[in-house]
Structure 1
Amino acid sequence: MAQVIAVTNQKGGVGKTTTTINVAYNLTKAGKSVLLVDLDPQGNASSGLSVSRDKTTTRDVLSGKSSLKDAVQKTSYSKLDVLATDAELATLETEIATEKNRAIRLKEALKDAPYDVVLIDCPPSLGLLTVNALSAAHSVIIPVQTEYYALEGLGQLLETMKLVRQALNPHLAILGVVMTMHNSRTTLSSQVEEQLRANFKDRLFETVVPRNIRVAEAPSHGKPVGEYDKWSKGARAYKALSKEILERLP
């Protein structure tokens, strides 16, 4: 059975999609078969891996118009598939708001997914799409930018996870918290790191993803940073993070 991991933080601009893409890529390099589910209507994970957003999408699967098998697309990378999305996904929450199974549609779709790992790129909100991801996931990865207001909203995310555990998914766990866009030269980054260590202890990954121009450039080329510049600090960080993730998976 696939290990399902939701990558989530309702605060935007924290490196969530970048983390999802690069962890997915590195897990395949370690021999794992991976499905990346793009659950963010912005579709940046889809474009970041150069897959079409005009074919069958996440919305079609969640609305019951398509099976998962018929909707996934191959990428240029061996063992890495994507369930792409487009802006139409944003309307789905309203459409299924009164449906009984509205919070577990993704869980049902992924039930027999033939992969070692499924990574879900969540939208920067705590709406029905994110609840679907948390209901489907065994665990979550929380990227946190080491800047001012970094911890803002984390309490709300943890509360949402608590509610999902109570009502839908009792075994949902935090796989880890990862510090992103880290600038070791600032006092603020060190202060945020201290706060995260105090709050999350051994759930904080040792790997810190630095602020890195190569990481920022790679999506515009439709590539993971490991393909764009494998010797960059960002590429090496995501490779190390992926190794930590593998060590924590059952």
Structure 2
Amino acid sequence: MAKIIAFANQKGGVGKTTTTCAIAAGLKEKGNRVLCVDLDPQSNLSFSVGACSEDCATIYDVLKGDVKPLFAIQRAGVFDIISSNILLSGVELEFTQTGREYLLKEALATLTSKYDYILIDTPPALSILTVNAFTAANGIIIPMNADIFSLQGIAQLSETVDKVRNYCNPNLKLEGIVLTKFNKNTVLSKDILGTAQLIAQELHTHLFVSTIRSSVAIMEAQTNQQSIYEYAPNNNAVMDYKSLVEEMLSVGI
């Protein structure tokens, strides 16, 4: 039975898609069966692995009920993916039926026996798509930049998680916070690290020891639609993501 993990932060540019992709590839390297679901209308995860987003079945078609989830899966090199496209941006107005929060959960229920992990890349907004991801997931990982603006958004995210727990998914767990674009040599990063530790304690969650350094090679790999582990295996940030995968597995995620 697959463990379903959503990667969420309503602030853009925090490395959410990169983290989803890197962890998926890392888990696959460990011998796991991995499916990614791109739930972001911007389709960045789909693009970064070379998945089709136009003239093919996407998560939008699955949520509408037009396509069975199994037939929307693409083999995207390292791991499987259900891609996204821009039509997802209209679901807030289009999906108004009762129970719309459960659409993704119902769709993924047919796939959980086929994978060890299902990872969901969410949009940078606390929308019905994010609520669907939280309703479907067992746990949430929050990637955040080592800056004050990222910290400010965690409170809002926590409120949404609490609402989903109360109404849709009582077993939803905050698996942890991972700091991205982290430079341990700056005073700011050290301050943010301390604050993030306090926030993690308040939210009764885990601040991952593994932090992710900035790297141009990560962006280059995504632009070239290659796995970061193949494109730059000895890069600092790639090594950081490997450590993060090891840490996740060691704490039972």
Could you say which residue in structure 1 is the equivalent of 2:162? Answer: 162
The alignment yields a C-alpha RMSD, in angstroms, of 1.1
Retained in 2: the 8 A contact 1:150–1:192?
Answer: no
Tell me the distance in 2 between the aligned counterparts of 1:20 and 1:249: 17
Which position in structure 2 is the counterpart of 1:100?
A: 98
Deviation of 1:158 after TM superposition, in Å, equals: 0.3
Secondary structure of the residue aligned to 1:249 is coil
Aligned to 2:239: 236
Deviation of the 1:109 alpha carbon: 0.3
The number of residues matched between the two structures is 247
Consecutive unaligned residues of structure 2, counting only runs of 5 or more, are: none
Question: Normalising by structure 1, what TM-score?
Answer: 0.96
Match of 1:56 in 2: 57
Instruction: Name stretches of at least 5 consecutive residues in structure 1 with no aligned partner.
Output: none
- 1:182-197 to structure 2, matched below 5 A, reads 182-197=182-197
Kindly provide the CA deviation profile for residues 164-211 of structure 1, in whole angstroms up to 9, marking residues without a partner as x: 000000000011110000122221111110001112146001100001
Residue of structure 2 in register with 1:45 after alignment: 45
- Picking from 225, 230, 236, the partner of 1:227 is 230
| Offset from partner CA, 1:71-103 (integer Å, 9 cap, x none) | 0100112xx100001111111221112x01200
Matched residue, 2:108: 110
Alignment partner, residue 86 of structure 2: 87
CA offsets, 1:112-160, max 9 Å, x none? Answer: 3111000000000001000000000000000010023120111000010
Alignment-mate amino acid for residue 213 of structure 2: P
List structure 1 runs of 4+ shifted beyond 4 angstroms. Answer: none
SS in 1 for 2:212: strand
1:208 match = 211
- d(CA) in 2 for partners of 1:100 and 1:247? 39
Further displaced range: 213-222 or 167-176: 213-222
Residue 218 (structure 1) shift: 1.4
